[in-house]
A and B are shown apart, each in its own frame.
Chain A
Amino acid sequence: MTDTPTQTVESIITVTPGALLRRRLFGHYGLLFGLAILVLVAAAALFAPLLTDQSPYAQDLSARMKPPFWMAGSDPSHLLGTDQLGRDYLARLLYGARISLLIGTVTALISGVIGTALGVAAGYFGGKVDLAATFLINVRLALPVVLVSLAIVALFGGSLQIVILVLGFLLWDRFAIVMRSSVMQIRGLEYVNAAKAIGCSKTRIVLSEIMPNVINNLIVVMTLEMAHAILLEAALSFLGLGVQPPTPSWGLMISEGKEMMLFQPWLITIPGIALFLLVLAINLLGDGLRDVTAPEAKG
């Protein structure tokens, strides 16, 4: 006896997975917008020496606080003007992109490795391992990130490496939480049991059966933490306990421009908007990726 074949409203609406993916991708201006800005910023960072012949460090006390090109009295050799020490603002902005991107990627990589290892172990082995990992996550979440990183940077001295290390060792919580629950969901599925049944080793199961299926989530968290790290570095540098002068960090630029913001507001608006756009782009990319790869997680 065959089942009575049916065709529901749902099955009529459903289109092929490929078309759905494309529709979601191109229906997603956010994703494309994010990707475009990120590529632009990355290019600016990478080709900074080609885009400007100015040095981000060279001071010129005779040309201090020149306004950017859209204002009266601007200097064509300093498109975005100069800061209070006469350094070219465009050069500082371009070289500053390097700092932000470097902090973002390296921090996300370090915390990604820590968090993923912890989360996958917790999710795959469960039991006591899970208990221990959950406890660690709880402890980590209880530590106030800004305060702890400020304190450590203050004690060890502010440098790019220290900031990256501190943030890398602090921002793994979301990786661990997301990886733990994704692996838990997948662990019980048929094909993982099938792999166990044919005698695959645990390492093999984790690497070749589980990881490929949670990699989407990993990439999404990666983007979110990149954005998080960039914002935190800027905040630390703004508070004077992050990257130290004269490094052209965007947070530091805002901090230095703060004193002059009454008369030269562009000193804080330019790096502020750059920071906002970069973080926005990374977040949009992450959101877009999540929607494209996992429509049910939308919202």
Chain B
Amino acid sequence: MLAFALKRLGLAILVTFTVSVISFSLLHLSGDPATSLAGENATAADIAAISRQYGFDRPLTVQYTDWLWKALHGDFGESYYFKLPVADLIADRLSITMTLGICAISFALLTAVPLGVAAAVRPNSVVDRTALFLSVAGQAMPSFWFGLVMIVIFSIKLRLLPASGSETWRHFIMPTVVLGYYAMPAIMRLTRAGMLEVLNADYIRTARAKGAGAGRVLFKHALRNAIVPVVSLSAVQMGFMLGGSVVVEAIFSLHGAGYLAWESIGRHDLPTVQALILIFSCFYILFTLLSDLANAWLDPRIRVG
């Protein structure tokens, strides 16, 4: 188990490093940051001055090493737009994105797992078909459009929920549903497929032969085995969701990290964008790492090798 964990950690670090190289070079190769920073009316001298000031005249590898070294110490440079340390800026906004992410994945799990179990227990029943419909619709629904439709219905027509902002918990309801619905179909399908397979397993028959009741068979014996892949999928989905929160935060004007990313991209605020891409990648890497470890721990065949 320890060897597995160490190996997995090593891979995570290597992936993080590679991602940082890619995101850095992508953003720097795409044009001269000094030109865009200087604005449209800048003279060549202005651009050269800016280039010197920000160190754009140095070789890219030097710039990268410098950036990485500082980033490792929590210094992501200064935002071109806000003229504030990027690290502070992001730290400020991250709590909203994290809250949204946690609410959304909880919402997804709380709806998808019970639905998936119910669908597997009675295949082709009304519940199964409803679940299938919800999942098929969820996969085809553009989340930004779903968000807009919800605003029209719940904020404008029914005046039940606030359309934008992040002041109270009620502001988080619609974003949670929209972002959570994005992750729901995959989790539900996996739960259903896993339960269908597990319910046909010989050890389920053994449990019934022991005299275990339906509930005990379902939850203690079946779900415990079917949930293992669901745990890792949810972690992966959580990583995807944080990265995808840009869209939802933009619709509901939730001023989280995703919203900051959207604004910063529009403003060509390079240090902020770079830091955000790296941080969102790190979240994904961290969640998959945790999921692999949780998986290994949940499955005795890996834990007790």
The answer to whether B77 has its CB under 8 Å from any CB of chain A is no
Among A135, A146, A240, A283, the residue within 8 A (CB) of B14 is A135
Closest CB in chain B relative to A257 CB, distance in Å: 9
**Which B residues lie within 8 Å of A277 (CB)?**
140
**Which A residues lie within 8 Å of B137 (CB)?**
276, 280
The answer to whether B238 has its CB under 8 Å from any CB of chain A is no
> Can you pick out 24 interface pairs between chain A and chain B where the beta carbons lie within 8 Å of each other?
A135-B11, A135-B14, A138-B15, A139-B22, A142-B19, A143-B19, A143-B277, A147-B243, A147-B261, A147-B276, A147-B280, A148-B26, A238-B247, A239-B247, A239-B262, A251-B144, A254-B142, A258-B148, A272-B148, A272-B149, A276-B141, A276-B142, A276-B145, A279-B142
A144:B27 contact, CB within 8 angstroms: no
A148:B152 contact, CB within 8 angstroms: no
Beyond known contacts A139-B22, A143-B23, A258-B148: 4 more, CB 8 A cutoff: A135-B11, A148-B26, A227-B139, A239-B262
Among A234, A261, A287, the residue within 8 A (CB) of B152 is A261
Closest CB in chain A relative to B229 CB, distance in Å: 12
Known: A155-B268, A261-B152, A280-B140. A150 touches B281 (CB 8 A): no
B277 nearest CB neighbor, chain A only: A147
B277:A139 contact, CB within 8 angstroms: no
The answer to whether A222 has its CB under 8 Å from any CB of chain B is no
**Which A residues lie within 8 Å of B27 (CB)?**
151, 155
A138:B152 contact, CB within 8 angstroms: no
Q: How far is the CA of A276 from the CA of B140 in the complex (A)?
A: 5
A265:B152 contact, CB within 8 angstroms: yes
Among B11, B156, B243, the residue within 8 A (CB) of A138 is B11
The answer to whether A292 has its CB under 8 Å from any CB of chain B is no
The answer to whether A284 has its CB under 8 Å from any CB of chain B is yes
The answer to whether A154 has its CB under 8 Å from any CB of chain B is yes
User: Total number of A-B contacts with CB less than 8 angstroms?
Assistant: 136
Across the A-B interface, the 6 shortest Cβ-Cβ residue pairs? A144-B243, A299-B193, A280-B140, A155-B30, A272-B145, A279-B140
- Contact-size category for A: 35 or more
**Which A residues lie within 8 Å of B266 (CB)?**
154, 240-241
A239:B246 contact, CB within 8 angstroms: yes
The answer to whether B51 has its CB under 8 Å from any CB of chain A is no
B196 nearest CB neighbor, chain A only: A299
A139:B19 contact, CB within 8 angstroms: yes
**Which A residues lie within 8 Å of B156 (CB)?**
262
**Which B residues lie within 8 Å of A163 (CB)?**
none
A299 nearest CB neighbor, chain B only: B193
The answer to whether B31 has its CB under 8 Å from any CB of chain A is yes
Q: How far is the CA of A81 from the CA of B257 in the complex (A)?
A: 38
Binary CB contact string for chain B from 68 to 79 against chain A (1 if under 8 A, 0 otherwise): 000000000000
**Which A residues lie within 8 Å of B19 (CB)?**
139, 142-143
Q: How far is the CA of A154 from the CA of B269 in the complex (A)?
A: 11
Known: A138-B11, A141-B284, A142-B285. A150 touches B246 (CB 8 A): yes
Q: How far is the CA of A141 from the CA of B285 in the complex (A)?
A: 9
B144:A235 contact, CB within 8 angstroms: yes
**Which A residues lie within 8 Å of B285 (CB)?**
142
A146:B246 contact, CB within 8 angstroms: yes
The answer to whether A231 has its CB under 8 Å from any CB of chain B is yes
The answer to whether B189 has its CB under 8 Å from any CB of chain A is yes
Known: A261-B148, A279-B142, A280-B140. A144 touches B31 (CB 8 A): no
**Which B residues lie within 8 Å of A268 (CB)?**
145, 148-149, 152
